[in-house]
Amino acid sequence: MSRIKTRFDALKAEGRGALIPYLQAFDPDLETSLELLKAMPAAGADLIEIGVPFSDPSADGLTIQAAALRGLKAGATLTRVLEMVKRFREGDDATPIVLMGYLNPIDSYGPARFCADAAAAGVDGLIVVDLPPEEADLLEDDARANGLDIVRLVAPNTSDARLRQILPEASGFIYYVSITGITGTRTATEDELAAAMPRIRAVSDLPVAVGFGIRTPSQAAVASRTGDAAVVASALITTLAATLDDGRATDQTVPRVLGQLRELAEAVRG
């Protein structure tokens, strides 16, 4: 059984949803990023989404775009991000890790080699934002062969017919992009989330993680209760960015991000 399924099954038995913090790899440097990654489970992360820095992150708002640029400036590459996950796995074999990124770096790396190396490093799932289901054969067979889940993205404007077309091939969990737009902009209301879930659950039994626009503990609690997980990205990166001095980490960077994560986790746990 995959780490993702094991974790969601355990949380279902506990009667609560998951908190999935987002971390941009190498933001603002490898050492700080790895320190945050290692500390996130103890601060309340149930699963962790790691963003692979990319120069053209079309789904991301300004906050994550800036984080990606800091990561690239700090030397992030796909190879080095996998090495970072491997170092995390030296001390944590339980917390699921999902890589979020774009197709171009994976295609350049080589999909077959990437999937084998990602699995060996300890990655559990992939979110490839710009990989349409119709072209997923570029990655799916190699991902499945290496035990990697392919997480599908759906949005409020995804039709019922489209849900029936793409969700049967999903694995791990479904990522519900709760707004029509980029990350870090507006937040979906509780009524909007409640209206969306039945359409998805009618097609798939997989857990549904709600992301985009979740910034506060109360919003995370609603999202994890209405869906099965809340993904928090821009809010944590905004906090991180506010601690930097001329782009460099300070003694406030790690404690303030982890402090915010603990507040989010407390709300999700009720």
Residues 253/255/260/262 CA torsion (nearest 10 deg): 150
Q: Which of 16, 32, 31 is closest to 257 using CA atoms?
A: 32
Q: How far apart are CA 197 and CA 176, in angstroms?
A: 9
Tokens of 40: 């996130």
Which parts of the chain are beta strand (E)?
Answer: 18-24, 48-51, 97-101, 125-128, 149-150, 152-154, 174-177, 208-211, 229-232
Rg over CA atoms, the chain: 17
Which residues in 101-134 are b (16+ Cβ under 10 Å) and which e? Answer: bbbebbeebebeebbebbbebbbbbbbbbebebe
| Helices and strands in the chain: count of H runs, count of E runs | 12, 9
Name the catalytic one among 46, 49, 140, 149: 49
Residue 49 bears catalytic tag: yes
Name the catalytic one among 60, 117, 124, 140: 60
Exposed, middle or buried by CB within 10 Å (0-12, 13-18, 19+), for 58? Answer: exposed
Q: Which of 5, 118, 112 is closest to 52 using CA atoms?
A: 118
Residues with catalytic function: 49, 60
